Structure 1
Amino acid sequence: MYPRLRRLLVGCLLVGTVARAAAQEAGGFALLGTYHGQGGQFASTVAPGPTEGSERLYASYLYMGKTLEVTSVDPATGAFKTYASPVKTESGARCMVTGPDRNVYLGTMPNAHLLKLDTRTDQLVDLGRPAPTEAFIWDLVFGSDGKLYAATQPNAKLARFDPKGGRLEDLGQMDKLALFVRHLAASDDGFIYGGTGPSRMSVVAYHIATGEHRAILPPEAQIGGIAEVWRAADGRVYALAGDRYFSLSGFTARSIDAAHVGGRVWAGRLRDGRYASVKGHSLIVKDEKSGRTEVHPYAYEGAELPVFRVGFGPDARLYGSTELPARLLRLDEPRGVLEEIGELGSGEVYSFLAHGKRLLMAAYAALGPLMSYDVTRPFQHDEPGRNPAPVSWPGADDSWRTFAATIGPDGKAYFGGLAGYGKLGGPLVSWDVRTGAVQAFPVMRDQSVSALGVWKDKLVVGTTIYGGMGSTPTQKDARIILWDPASREAVYNLEPIPGAVSIENLAVAYNGLVYAIASRKMFVLDLNARRVTSVKDLPFPGGTVYGSMAVGSDGRIWGFAPNAQAGIFMIDPTTDEIRLMAHPPKPITAGFAIRGDHIYFASGGEVYRYTVPSAATPPTPRPRR
Structure 2
Amino acid sequence: MQIESGVPNATTFAGGSAYALYTGTPDANPQLAVIDLATEKVTRKITIPDSAASPTVGGWAAATATDGSVYLGTYPNAKLYRHVPGQSTVTDLGRAEGGYAFIWDLEPGADGEVYGGTYNDGRYFSYADGAFTTLGSVPVVAGAENVRSLAHDPATGATYLGTGTNAALVRYDNATGRVDRLLPAAYAHNSMVGGLTWTGGRLFAWIDRTLLVLRVARAADGSHTAAADAAITDVDLHHSPARDGRVWFVKEGLLHSYEVATGTVRATSVRPGLDVTGYTWSGGTLVGLGAAEDGTRVFRYEPESGQWSSRVVSGAPVLPAAINALGAGPDGRIYTGGYLTGGNGAHDPLRGDGDDGRPDTPTRTGLSQTDSLLAHDGRLYIGAYPSAKLYSHVPGDPWPPTLRYTGGDAGSKADDCEPGEGPPPQDRPYALAGGPDGTVYMGTVPKYGKRSGALTVWKEGTPGRTLCVAANQAVVSLAFAGGMLFGGTSTRGALGVHPVYAPGASATLFSYDPATGAVRLHPLPLPAPKAVTALAQVDGRLWGLAGGSLFTLDPARPQEITTEQLFPDPDYAARPSLAWRDGVLLTVAQDPRHVYGTAGDQIFRIDRSTRALTVLLTDPGMEGLTADRFGNLYYRINERLHRLALPV
Q: Same fold (TM over 0.5)?
A: yes
Q: 1:312 to 1:134 in 2, by over 3 A?
A: same
CA distance in 2 between counterparts of 1:206 and 1:326 reads: 35
- Residue 277 of structure 2 is aligned to residue 277 of structure 1: no
Amino acid at match of 2:42: A
CA distance in 2 between counterparts of 1:450 and 1:283 reads: 37
Cα offsets for 1:32-68 (capped at 9, x unmatched): xx236235411111113xxxxxx32111011232321
Residue 254 of structure 2 aligns with which residue? Answer: none
Which stretch of the first structure deviates more once superposed, 238-247 or 482-491?
Answer: 238-247
Residue 337 of structure 2 aligns with which residue? Answer: 321
Q: Unaligned regions of 5+ residues in structure 2, if any?
A: 233-244, 250-276, 354-358, 412-423, 573-577
Q: Give the drift of 1:523.
A: 3.2
CA distance in 1 between counterparts of 2:362 and 2:379 reads: 18
- Residue 328 of structure 2 is aligned to residue 340 of structure 1: no
Residue 248 of structure 1 aligns with which residue? Answer: 216
**Residue 128 of structure 1: which of 94, 97, 116 is its match?**
94
1:411-560 equivalences under 5 Å are 411-432=438-459, 434-472=460-498, 473-474=502-503, 476-510=505-539, 512=541, 514-525=542-553, 528=557, 530-538=559-567, 545-546=581-582, 548-553=584-589, 554-555=591-592, 556-560=594-598
Q: 1:39 to 1:132 in 2, by over 3 A?
A: farther
Cα offsets for 1:358-385 (capped at 9, x unmatched): 211111038x7111223232225xxxxx
CA distance in 1 between counterparts of 2:99 and 2:296 reads: 38
**Residue 85 of structure 1: which of 25, 32, 48 is its match?**
48
Answer whether contact 2:583 2:599 (CA < 8 A) is retained. no
CA distance in 1 between counterparts of 2:308 and 2:213 reads: 33
Q: Give the drift of 1:299.
A: 2.3
CA distance in 1 between counterparts of 2:3 and 2:558 reads: 51
CA distance in 1 between counterparts of 2:189 and 2:7 reads: 29
Q: Give the drift of 1:177.
A: 2.1
**Residue 161 of structure 2: which of 190, 194, 198 is its match?**
194
Cα offsets for 1:222-268 (capped at 9, x unmatched): 11321245334413323355656532345433222317997368834
Answer whether contact 2:343 2:363 (CA < 8 A) is retained. yes
- Residue 410 of structure 2 is aligned to residue 395 of structure 1: yes
Residue 583 of structure 1 aligns with which residue? Answer: 618
CA distance in 2 between counterparts of 1:152 and 1:248 reads: 25
Other structure's SS at 1:437 match: coil
Q: 1:185 to 1:82 in 2, by over 3 A?
A: same
- Residue 120 of structure 2 is aligned to residue 157 of structure 1: no
Other structure's SS at 1:46 match: strand
**Residue 390 of structure 2: which of 358, 367, 370 is its match?**
370
Answer whether contact 1:71 1:81 (CA < 8 A) is retained. yes
CA distance in 2 between counterparts of 1:241 and 1:306 reads: 28
Residue 37 of structure 1 aligns with which residue? Answer: 4
Answer whether contact 2:101 2:120 (CA < 8 A) is retained. yes
Larger relative contact order (Cα-Cα within 8 Å, sequence gap ≥ 6): 1
Residue 239 of structure 1 aligns with which residue? Answer: 205
Residue 306 of structure 1 aligns with which residue? Answer: 322
Answer whether contact 2:32 2:46 (CA < 8 A) is retained. yes
Q: Give the drift of 1:104.
A: 0.4
Q: CA RMSD in A?
A: 2.8
Cα offsets for 1:302-338 (capped at 9, x unmatched): 2222121111222222211111211122113314262
Which stretch of the first structure deviates more once superposed, 118-127 or 140-149?
Answer: 140-149
Q: Unaligned regions of 5+ residues in structure 1, if any?
A: 1-33, 49-54, 381-386, 615-625
Other structure's SS at 1:79 match: strand
Q: Give the drift of 1:422.
A: 0.9
Other structure's SS at 2:227 match: strand
1:87-106 equivalences under 5 Å are 87-88=50-51, 89-106=55-72
Q: 1:415 to 1:594 in 2, by over 3 A?
A: farther
Q: Give the drift of 1:496.
A: 3.5
- Residue 229 of structure 2 is aligned to residue 257 of structure 1: yes
CA distance in 1 between counterparts of 2:515 and 2:225 reads: 50
Answer whether contact 2:582 2:623 (CA < 8 A) is retained. no
Q: 1:144 to 1:322 in 2, by over 3 A?
A: same
TM-score (norm 1): 0.82
CA distance in 1 between counterparts of 2:246 and 2:494 reads: 32
Answer whether contact 2:22 2:32 (CA < 8 A) is retained. yes
CA distance in 2 between counterparts of 1:398 and 1:476 reads: 22
Q: 1:214 to 1:324 in 2, by over 3 A?
A: same
Answer whether contact 1:99 1:142 (CA < 8 A) is retained. yes
Q: 1:304 to 1:220 in 2, by over 3 A?
A: closer
CA distance in 2 between counterparts of 1:248 and 1:400 reads: 33
**Residue 175 of structure 1: which of 118, 122, 141 is its match?**
141
Amino acid at match of 1:194: L
Residue 61 of structure 1 aligns with which residue? Answer: 22
Amino acid at match of 1:316: G
Residue 609 of structure 1 aligns with which residue? Answer: 643
Q: 1:124 to 1:411 in 2, by over 3 A?
A: same
Answer whether contact 2:162 2:196 (CA < 8 A) is retained. no
Answer whether contact 1:202 1:217 (CA < 8 A) is retained. yes
Amino acid at match of 1:407: G
Answer whether contact 2:3 2:338 (CA < 8 A) is retained. no
Q: Give the drift of 1:138.
A: 0.7
Answer whether contact 1:151 1:157 (CA < 8 A) is retained. yes
CA distance in 1 between counterparts of 2:600 and 2:31 reads: 27
Residue 236 of structure 2 aligns with which residue? Answer: none
Cα offsets for 1:480-510 (capped at 9, x unmatched): 1122121112234213422211111122321
Amino acid at match of 1:253: T
Residue 188 of structure 2 aligns with which residue? Answer: 222
Answer whether contact 2:323 2:637 (CA < 8 A) is retained. yes
Cα offsets for 1:332-363 (capped at 9, x unmatched): 33142621353234x41111122334211111
- Count matched residues: 558
TM-score (norm 2): 0.79
